[in-house]
Structure 1
């Protein structure tokens, strides 16, 4: 008799494994100076937290997320009858798009509030902004309270309101994890499909991590609709830096490039 891993268990731990595996790829690419949005010197000098501390913080958040996921799957689980009914591709697409919109909406308003509430920013959200120069495995480096409010509860709401199954959640949360890591990777790689398919990308989020853009570009991780609707959208331009790489600058007018 073979060992069978449940969809709930996969939905809990696959995104964690993907986070570190995908981040690892970017760590290997990090030495290519011609693709970096910031120099390695800036990364070392401007960031206010060590990479060791970042790793510990991310592992803590992932532990909390795993516990909440297990509780959520246990509470919403059934006897397996519903799980045996496979949704149509149309239903699956609707569930995934709904989950994306729910997650984006929750994170935009919570993220924006954490910037405008001085107490929450000083004591909670500022921890994430210790990474002035973002890098891939720092994507989930947050205060535990922020991780719970922004990511864990946002993920739970997207799961519940979309009506997706635990199996579908494996793919959704894995995709959301890859997208979040990509947004923080600090690299502008040629042929990156995320940069082609999403206006919310590495450069877009890099603007938010800079002092001039800290009250703009709150949207994450998929779309930019709430920033555009509510006037917190800051366009940017990418310019080649002397010595290699790119520099993200705010654009007065026009489209992002």
Structure 2
């Protein structure tokens, strides 16, 4: 479950957005017009899908290796012992903060280091207009270090049980897709009420020159505020329909 559930959740959730956008049902919630995506993005959807599938093969191998190591020598009856629900919730929250710290500093460094940006992280930014399927469209080295490495460190530090690990990894998949979906929902959306890091927040990162702002992902935004890389923004309605995330430049 820990290996395959996050991948299944990724394709179900990302596929929902892709189908809804392609059919026009979510046009009134778009952060970019369909024409903008076709004009600005440097890779076709078919290449994005192939790239994500390749990384998920690497993800499966990494997860299998990690779970094999952590489950070896543990008796079956011990595997079934679960801490209380409040403890599991606290473990998941701790893992979120660990994941955010790992992602923020790693992500920011990949922008600051010209070599890493040019040869590694720039692959993700070929999607100038983010799209749901492209949440995991990264260079394999970035995926291994930033995404999978961050996941493993979060699981180890939080000390989660296998059941909590599955829940956390699925939440991370959902939130990654949500950040890249290119869709803006009203504040009535429950997931958006819980976190400040939303689709428009990450869209600002993709649209800012050189991606100098809003590095935080996937869950919260406090690292940007603490480190001075937060870019305020407003979301405005387009006259022709949809929305636009517009940066509010700092003094």
Give the TM-score range, shorter chain: over 0.9
Aligned to 1:202: 199
Aligned residues of 2:29 and 2:183 also touching (Cα < 8 A): yes
- Residue of 16, 30, 49 corresponding to 1:25: 16
SS of the residue aligned with 2:56?
helix
- Residue of 34, 38, 59 corresponding to 1:44: 38
Deviations 1:124-154 (A, max 9, x none): 0000000000110110000000000110000
Unaligned runs of 5+ in 2: none
Unaligned runs of 5+ in 1: 1-9
**d(CA) in 2 for partners of 1:183, 1:237:** 16
SS of the residue aligned with 1:234?
coil
1:115 corresponds to 2:111: yes
Aligned residues of 2:82 and 2:161 also touching (Cα < 8 A): no
Count of equivalent residues? 244
Aligned to 2:87: 91
**d(CA) in 2 for partners of 1:60, 1:195:** 30
Aligned to 2:168: 172
Larger displacement relative to structure 2 (191-200 or 71-80) = 191-200
Runs of 4+ in 1 over 6 A off after TM superposition: none
Aligned to 1:13: 4
Aligned residues of 1:213 and 1:234 also touching (Cα < 8 A): no
Tell me the TM-score normalized by structure 2: 0.94
Aligned to 1:135: 131
Deviations 1:183-212 (A, max 9, x none): 100011233222211110100000000133
1:76 corresponds to 2:67: no
Tell me the TM-score normalized by structure 1: 0.92
Aligned to 1:4: none
Aligned residues of 1:237 and 1:249 also touching (Cα < 8 A): yes
Larger displacement relative to structure 2 (161-170 or 36-45) = 161-170
